[in-house]
A and B are shown apart, each in its own frame.
Chain A
Amino acid sequence: MPMLDWLLTPLQYAFMQRGLIAAVLAGVICAVVGTYVVLRGMAFFGDALAHTILPGVAVGYLVSGGAREPLFWWALGTSVAASLGIGAVSRSGRIKEDTAIGIIFAGMFALGIALISTVRSYAVDLSHFLFGDVLGVSVQGLAWMAAFGLGVMLVIAALYKEFLVISFDPVLAQTLRLPVTRFNNLMLVLIAVTVAVAMQTVGVALMVAMLVTPAATASLLTRRLLPMMTIAAALAAGSGVVGLYVSYYLGIASGAAIVLTSTLGFTFAFAVKQIKRVI
């Protein structure tokens, strides 16, 4: 049974098992949250937010002397603070929103690189932060990912109808007297937590692909919100597993392999859709 061997061989390694669980967890959470990112046109915000956490992770890295466990908390703290900060700056209305985000994100990203570059072994560690290190996820790290991911899912399930209204028709949300600003901020925090959860899997530079690609593919396949979330989650989980096997057998960086698999899925769905339209 060569096929079965092909599938089982990588699983003898504990780091591969943990990596697969991490890739699926991160993929599913990113896909569900990413559905809102796609529908609300927040792709640039998501990309910027991911890059903005680098200085926080860098400080954590310097303080903890290279230990990985505390980095999750540094990523989480920076991410939540940055999401609310970017939200406040964009609302102030003094400069255009995308310009404001661009300035903050590039500045913070540069600060992160500067901080990490003070360490001698910086190239390897920096590449882990930028592009992910899913095979280096610890059991403890998985537990935190699962716990926070579950928390994000529960909030989205509980506030499904409120998030639907503030995303589709903010004016209706206001006439129904929903606390729109609070819900918007909560949405930013959920995106921030998601970024922290997925950081070790794909890294900050590829994060935006985890947020938008599966959701965008799903949007080509269905025209309802709940199916869109479900399909996006399934696509993301599938891309995580397939990507890791590809990474194992072809010796490609894992984060890149996961994102490329997901991108291939989108390209395929898009092409089929276009061909159907022509025929």
Chain B
Amino acid sequence: MYPHVHHQPDQPILNVARLSLRYDGRTALEDISFHLHAGERVAVVGPNGAGKSTLFKVIAGVLRPSEGEVTVYGSGPGGHVCIGYIPQRSQVDWRFPVSVADVVMMGRIAKLGLLGWPKKRDWDLVRAALETVGIADLAGRQIGELSGGQQQRMFIARALAQEAELMLMDEPLTGLDAPAQEGLLALLGELQRKGVTVMVATHDLEQAARYFDRLLLLNRRLVAFGVPEQVLRPEVLVRAYGGHMTLPDGQIITDTCCEGGEHAHA
């Protein structure tokens, strides 16, 4: 009942080709192409409404693209169970009557199969995943009792229990205090050492530049994709954010070409 597709190891872990997505007459994503190799750590940055969550859902195979295609190890995402999607914390019902271990075990369900029950190996994997993210002592807690950082770690543990090779994290750092953010970013480094490919949506350009190998700048279209020094240049950023904004080094850029021009004539 649950499909499992074999990986072709010579193919990139993720290839996105000419991807567009339209719904309700609006274009959410347009003509996006890029690919990732296993073990990369990529930050997806862009203004609010740029389509970061939508892009993740298409890559995860939850939404279907209107045009173009997504392939994971050479085949469409619909057959893969190796893609871990970590939701925004605001999307979760934290009063739901489940423990931390219950949630992490959910990651095993595809491997258990229909009518299958968790075996010792599954519980061992859950335990190991919780230890990796450093919250093994909280396994029996109801999920609402966790702090924001611990909640994110729980979902990463679930993706580890799922044996996810590609993890998509939607704004995992939002709403966390500085120590929790640092802890989570350190954990991402550990995931990379385990060979997990990580895509993180964030709006903090400075963190993105410091902790990620490459940045993907999105504003419905792919504005730029490269190492931080390539992407975080004023003339590139202005194409995604428009208006004016403050760069990580404190420099302020202002988009003078369009808005100012009209006022000059008035």
Contact = CB atoms under 8 A, between A and B. Distances in A.
Interface in B81-117: 81, 83-85, 87, 91-93, 96-99, 102-103, 105-107, 109-110, 112, 114-115, 117
A175 B98 contact: no
Nearest to A161: B109
A168 B115 contact: no
B60 interface: yes
Contacts of B81: 175-177
B109 A228 contact: no
B34 interface: no
A219 to B, nearest CB: 7
Contacts of A167: 96
Given A164-B106, A179-B1, A39 B96 contact: yes
B60 A175 contact: yes
A224 interface: yes
B61 A175 contact: yes
Contacts, number: 78
Interface string B112-129: 101101000000000000
A222 interface: yes
Question: Is the interface on chain A under 10, 10 to 19, 20 to 34, or 35 or more residues?
Answer: 20 to 34
Contacts of B61: 174-175, 177
A178 B3 CA distance: 9
A176 B97 contact: no
Contact of B57 (A165, A171, A222, A228): A171
B112 A161 contact: yes
A125 interface: no
B98 A171 contact: no
A224 B97 contact: yes
B202 interface: no
A220 B195 CA distance: 43
Interface in A217-236: 219, 222-225, 227-228
A39 B97 contact: yes
Contacts of B105: 161
B79 interface: yes
Interface string B144-182: 100000000000001000100000000000000000000
Nearest to A41: B93
A162 interface: yes
B97 A222 contact: yes
Given A176-B81, A224-B98, A224-B99, A169 B110 contact: no
A114 interface: no
A171 B60 contact: yes
| Interface core residue of A172, A175, A177, A224 (most chain B CB under 10 Å) | A175
A172 B106 contact: yes
Contacts of B228: none
Nearest to B91: A171
A158 interface: yes
Interface in A151-206: 158, 161-162, 164-165, 167-169, 171-172, 174-179
Contact of A169 (B79, B83, B106, B112): B106
A278 to B, nearest CB: 20
| Interface core residue of A167, A172, A174, A179 (most chain B CB under 10 Å) | A172
B62 to A, nearest CB: 5
| Interface core residue of B61, B80, B98, B105 (most chain A CB under 10 Å) | B98
Contacts of A165: 106, 109
B83 A175 contact: yes
| Interface core residue of A39, A165, A169, A225 (most chain B CB under 10 Å) | A169
A175 B85 CA distance: 7
B46 interface: no
Contacts of B97: 39, 219, 222-225, 227-228
Interface of B: 1-3, 57, 60-62, 78-81, 83-85, 87, 91-93, 96-99, 102-103, 105-107, 109-110, 112, 114-115, 117, 142, 144, 158, 162
14 contacts: A158-B115, A161-B105, A164-B106, A169-B87, A169-B106, A172-B107, A174-B62, A175-B60, A177-B61, A177-B79, A179-B1, A222-B97, A223-B97, A225-B97
Interface of A: 39, 158, 161-162, 164-165, 167-169, 171-172, 174-179, 219, 222-225, 227-228
Given A39-B93, A164-B106, A169-B106, 20 more contacts: A39-B97, A164-B102, A169-B92, A171-B62, A171-B85, A172-B85, A172-B107, A174-B60, A174-B61, A175-B83, A175-B85, A176-B2, A176-B107, A176-B109, A176-B110, A177-B110, A178-B109, A223-B97, A224-B99, A225-B98
